[in-house]
Amino acid sequence: MTRTTLEWQAADSAHFLHPFTDFQSLARKGARIITRADNIYLWDSDGHKLLDAMSGLWCVNVGYGQQALVDAAAAQMKELPFYNAFFQTATQPAIALAEKLAEVTPPQFRHVFFSGSGSEGNDTVVRMVRRYWDVLGEPQKQVNISRHNAYHGSTMAGASLGGMAGMHAQGGLPIPGITHIDQPYWVEHGRPGESRDAFGLRAASWLEDRILAMGADKVAAFIGEPIQGAGGVIIPPASYWPEIQRICDKHGILLVSDEVICGFGRTGRWFGCETFGFKPDLMTFAKGVTSGYIPLGGVMVGARVARVLIEQGGEFEHGYTYSGHPVSCAVALANIQIIQDQHLVAHVHDDVGPYLAQCFALLAEHPLVGAAETCGLMGALLLVKDKAKLTPFDAAAGIGMVCRGHCFANGLIMRAVGSRMIIAPPLVITRGQIDEMVALIRRCLDLTLADARRHGWL
């Protein structure tokens, strides 16, 4: 369709209610309309090129323009565009993907339950852990413990597991049986002179405090993202997750890793739980499983839970029309094949991940940057008023959004979470492209600093 950008924007604001958007303000400003993509770059309807340092929405792990994914979808659509997995039926791509996932995930995982998204995956988690305890004769174990500032999706259960205050304020969330502890974010909760590892242990102890307060006989599971993504790329100290594991084991509660962002190579191992050294009972995935080319999510089910559900559970009354959608599964298989053939996990672990860390260490010297942190191909820059004291800017200045505005205007997609500027570029990024990205980031930091000086925010 040949329309001008203004015509597209008019049609957009007349009909399209966007997710996580102030509808009126978007209508005033007009949406940025993305028209095509290749490798790590996007183009908008005015022909501007943008380096996509967010992999779409943390998902385009193999980069844009991968013909093998297009071919896999086309071939499967032609052969069998849809059939479901209910009532004793299956399709070949869904079986083959289940087999492949058992190969690439940690050894405790031999089974998968498919969903259409990460949110649906986490809804499945809540239903599955409750069912597990029910089958074991402990139906009172209903409570899921999660963390403030976590993101686990946007369905009623996903948003409830998440700890986003803005989401909870709309629609009477969280639903009953979900409680939150503080996040392991040293800037917010660290004490003067406390080492990162000591802080990690203290942050993990909040889980034990909550288990004891609720009564271990009431608690079903703890769920967390290995690194909180949407919360601002909060990378926990190395001591945190092993201690969380110890506490879950001690009290017999299930441990759930939400790997929707961290999965499929993002942290430099196949899954974030491998980077942080813990062994979850359940693992939610989505996004990177198909590199976002087509929707697919699911839950990897560890031996402890699978055994009970299979041997004693009877019918699990849960499922989605698109659980194991054959086209999505065919694309996921082609996507995982690319990750394997191009050794993308090793590329992140041995090459571009450490290189990004070096580049971010240099950005840490910028006058606006109070902390620069990376893990694999996730990174965050904390923008502060005073580097030495990590004094935050007044919230009214909206420093992150100012910086994000400069990024868009300069051909870079970077996300702002409060005063944290975050990135998660496609895993196929090269060192040369990291140089290009970091030069753009530096330019945008300089422009933001100039704004801060001009407005007297410093």
Q: Which is nearer to ligand PLP, 211 or 261 (CB)?
A: 261
To ligand PLP, the closest distance from the beta carbon of 258 in angstroms equals 5
To ligand PLP, the closest distance from the beta carbon of 153 in angstroms equals 3
Q: Which is nearer to ligand PLP, 93 or 224 (CB)?
A: 224
Q: Which is nearer to ligand PLP, 225 or 281 (CB)?
A: 225
Kindly state the DSSP code that residue 64 receives in the 8-state scheme.
B
Residue 22, Cβ density class (10 Å: 0-12 exposed, 13-18 middle, ≥19 buried) = exposed
Q: Which is nearer to ligand PLP, 200 or 298 (CB)?
A: 298
Please report, to the nearest 10 degrees, the dihedral formed by the alpha carbons of residues 181, 186, 191, 197 taken in order. Answer: 90
Q: Are 355 and 427 in contact (CB under 8 A)?
A: no
Q: Which is nearer to ligand PLP, 58 or 133 (CB)?
A: 58
Residue 108, Cβ density class (10 Å: 0-12 exposed, 13-18 middle, ≥19 buried) = middle
E strands in 266-411: 282-285, 297-302, 369-375, 378-383
Binding site for ligand PLP (CB under 6 A): 117-119, 122, 151-153, 158, 225, 229-230, 258, 260-261, 286, 297
To ligand PLP, the closest distance from the beta carbon of 191 in angstroms equals 28
To ligand PLP, the closest distance from the beta carbon of 373 in angstroms equals 18
208, amino acid identity? E
Q: How many other C-beta atoms are found inside a 10 Å radius of the C-beta of residue 98?
A: 20
DSSP, residue by residue, 237-282? PTTHHHHHHHHHHHHT-EEEEE-TTTTTTTTSSSSHHHHHT---SE
To ligand PLP, the closest distance from the beta carbon of 150 in angstroms equals 8
Angle, nearest 10°, between helix axes 92-104 and 326-341? 40
Kindly state the DSSP code that residue 352 receives in the 8-state scheme.
I
Cα radius of gyration (the chain) = 22
Q: Which is nearer to ligand PLP, 366 or 415 (CB)?
A: 415
Q: Which is nearer to ligand PLP, 149 or 433 (CB)?
A: 149
To ligand PLP, the closest distance from the beta carbon of 162 in angstroms equals 8
The C-alpha atoms of residue 279 and residue 409 are separated, in whole angstroms, by 43
Q: Which is nearer to ligand PLP, 286 or 441 (CB)?
A: 286
What is the number of the residue whose Cβ is closest to ligand PLP?
118
Q: Are 116 and 84 in contact (CB under 8 A)?
A: no
To ligand PLP, the closest distance from the beta carbon of 291 in angstroms equals 13
To ligand PLP, the closest distance from the beta carbon of 284 in angstroms equals 6
